[in-house]
Amino acid sequence: MDVGELLSFKPEQTPKRPSDLEREHQDDDDDDRSPEPPARGQPPKKVSRGEQNSSARGNAPALPTKEPQITEEERLNILKFVETEEPDGEVLDEGGLKKMLLLFEKRVLKNQEMRIKFPDQAEKFMESEIELNDAIQELHALATVPDLYSLLVDLNGVASLLELLSHQNSDISVAVVDLLQELTDVDILHESLDGAETLIEALRKQQAAGLLVQNLERLDETVKEEADGVHNTLAIFENLIEVKSDIAREVAEQGLMQWILKRLRAKIPFDANKLYCSEILSILVQDTNENRITLGNIDGIDVLLQQLAAYKRHDPSSAEEQEFMENLFNSLCSALMAKENREKFLKGEGLQLMNLMLREKKLSRNGSLKVLDHAMAGPDGRDNCNKFVDILGLRTIFPLFMKTPKRSKKRLLSTDEHEEHVVSIIASMLRNCKGSQRQRLLSKFTENEFEKVERLMELHRKYLDKVEAMDREIDQHTNEDDEQDDDMVYVKRLSGGLFTLQLVDYVILEICCTDVVKQRVLKILNLHNGSMKMIRNIMREYAGNLGDASDSDWREQEQAHILQLIDRF
Helix (H, G, I), strand (E, B) or coil at 141: helix
Q: What's the chain's length in residues?
A: 569
- pLDDT beyond 60 at 373: yes
pLDDT band for 547, please (50, 70, 90 cuts): low
- Please state, in angstroms and rounded to a whole number, the distance separating the CA atoms of residues 564 and 281: 42
Angle at 389 between CA 383 and CA 395, to 5 degrees: 150
- The burial class, CB within 10 Å (0-12 / 13-18 / 19+), for 512 is buried
| Nearest CA-CA partner of 306 in 360, 366, 266 | 266
- Please state, in angstroms and rounded to a whole number, the distance separating the CA atoms of residues 307 and 324: 10
Least confidently predicted of 255-259, 422-426, 540-544: 540-544
CB 385 within 8 A of CB 432: yes
pLDDT band for 12, please (50, 70, 90 cuts): low
Domain boundaries along the sequence of the chain? 94-347, 349-446, 455-568
What DSSP assignment string belongs to 503-561?
HHHHHHHHHTTSHHHHHHHHHHHHHTT--HHHHHHHHHHHHHT---TT-HHHHHHHHHH
What DSSP assignment string belongs to 6-24?
HHH--PPPPPPPPPHHHHH
* 349-358: pLDDT as tens digits: 999 999 999 9
Share of the chain above pLDDT 90, in %: 60
- Please state, in angstroms and rounded to a whole number, the distance separating the CA atoms of residues 491 and 489: 5
pLDDT band for 539, please (50, 70, 90 cuts): confident
* 434-468: pLDDT as tens digits: 999 999 999 999 988 889 999 999 999 999 999 99
Query: What pLDDT is recorded for position 528?
Result: 87
pLDDT band for 280, please (50, 70, 90 cuts): very high
Q: What Cα–Cα distance (Å) separates residue 20 from each residue in 16, 25, 56, 63, 343? A: 12, 9, 11, 21, 90
- The burial class, CB within 10 Å (0-12 / 13-18 / 19+), for 426 is buried
Helix (H, G, I), strand (E, B) or coil at 411: strand
What DSSP assignment string belongs to 325-358?
HHHHHHHHHHHTTSHHHHHHHHHTTHHHHHHHHH
Helix (H, G, I), strand (E, B) or coil at 408: strand
Alpha helices in 287-433 (DSSP H): 289-297, 300-309, 319-335, 339-347, 350-360, 364-376, 382-390, 394-402, 415-432
Burial 169-199 (b: 16+ CB within 10 A, else e): bbebbbbbbbbbbbbbbeebbeebeebbebb
The CATH number given to 94-347 is: 1.25.10.10
Query: What pLDDT is recorded for position 142?
Result: 93
Q: Is the pTM of this model over 0.95?
A: no
* 25-47: pLDDT as tens digits: 454 444 444 444 444 344 444 44
- pLDDT beyond 50 at 232: yes
- pLDDT beyond 50 at 143: yes
Query: What pLDDT is recorded for position 130?
Result: 94
- Please state, in angstroms and rounded to a whole number, the distance separating the CA atoms of residues 382 and 384: 5
Query: What pLDDT is recorded for position 78?
Result: 72
Say which residue, 564 or 320, is predicted with more confidence: 320
Taking residues 167-195, report their average pLDDT: 94
Least confidently predicted of 16-20, 104-108, 535-539, 554-558: 16-20
- pLDDT beyond 80 at 328: yes
| Nearest CA-CA partner of 79 in 6, 132, 169 | 6
Taking residues 388-393, report their average pLDDT: 94
Query: What pLDDT is recorded for position 156?
Result: 93
Q: What Cα–Cα distance (Å) separates residue 249 from each residue in 244, 279, 291, 338? A: 11, 16, 6, 15
CA–chain centroid gap for 472, Å, is 35
- Please state, in angstroms and rounded to a whole number, the distance separating the CA atoms of residues 20 and 283: 72
Taking residues 72-76, report their average pLDDT: 74
Angle at 365 between CA 285 and CA 509, to 5 degrees: 85
Query: What pLDDT is recorded for position 4?
Result: 52
Helix (H, G, I), strand (E, B) or coil at 366: helix
